[in-house]
Structure 1
Amino acid sequence: MPDDKTKRSPEDNKQIDINDPSEVSNWCRSLGCTADELKAAVSAVGKSAEKVKEHLGK
């Protein structure tokens, strides 16, 4: 499902779009990780923000 730029919340904060550079930057800042770590986490557990947080130990 593409990221709908017109819907910012609450759905938007539940999924991580690793193809959107500004979103990657925001998630990295929020989670305290690098872009490579974020992309690896999404690859491992999917784009669910909650699962990525758990995977990264946040």
Structure 2
Amino acid sequence: MNPQDTTSQTIDAGDAAAVQALAKKLDATPEQIEEAIRAVGPKPADIELHLKGSRSSSNAERTASKT
């Protein structure tokens, strides 16, 4: 298995190199990765979805800014 392939692995929050690598891949900070691991668990796909969800705005926020 390719060590750079995080899609089929889990991320150990205690492994600074793994956290940093995933943070770089997902354009996030290591702190955001660690928070996401606490929130959704160690699967990179779940972490990515969590981060994308936390960065998106709700429809109410988008429509409120147009008024």
Per the shorter chain, which TM-score range?
Answer: 0.7 to 0.9
- Flag as ranges the 4+ runs of structure 1 deviating above 3 A: none
Aligned residues: 50
Q: CA deviation at 1:41?
A: 0.5
AA paired with 1:25?
Q
Query: Using the alignment, how far apart are the partners of 1:28 and 1:50 within structure 2?
Result: 13
User: Percent identity at matched positions?
Assistant: 28
Aligned to 1:32: 27
Aligned to 1:19: 14
Structure 2's unaligned 5+ residue stretches are 54-67
Q: What TM-score results when the alignment is normalised by the length of structure 1?
A: 0.72
Aligned to 1:44: 39
CA RMSD of aligned residues (A): 2.1
Query: Using the alignment, how far apart are the partners of 1:48 and 1:17 within structure 2?
Result: 9
Q: What TM-score results when the alignment is normalised by the length of structure 2?
A: 0.64
